Amino acid sequence: MIVAIIGIDYDEGDPNSYRAVTVKIGEEEKRFDGGLPEHDWANALAHARKQTEHIYLSSNCDHFVNDGFRYGWTEDSNLYRLTDYEIGYYWRV
């Protein structure tokens, strides 16, 4: 069974240190480092889906979202940038 593991390369606790989204399949790792996490995520997920249907997310993906209050998850596991309204709403809750 071929498995893809998606991760986010950044210094935990500092979402501004974002470097890339990574996809590891076996011993091979591909980096998506275009500079915009949401675009890199979409490209990494598309790449992984072409290789296998068995895709797992590293725990640092959730850490990245929780560290910065700038990103969230859609229902189909896509990363998206929160709007200023959403950021304000989440800070008030």
Whole-model pTM?
Answer: 0.84
Average pLDDT over the chain, rounded to an integer: 87
pLDDT at residue 93 in the model: 45
Whether 78 and 45 have beta carbons less than 8 Å apart is answered as yes
In percent, how much of the chain has pLDDT > 90?
A: 60
Query: Residue 5: CB partners within 8 Å, gap ≥ 6?
Result: 23, 24, 25, 55, 56, 57, 58
pLDDT at residue 90 in the model: 53
| Phi, psi values for residue 32, rounded to 5° | -115, 105
pLDDT at residue 29 in the model: 97
pLDDT tens readout for residues 41-66: 999 999 999 999 999 999 999 999 88
What range does the domain containing 37 cover?
4-92
Number of domains making up the chain: 1
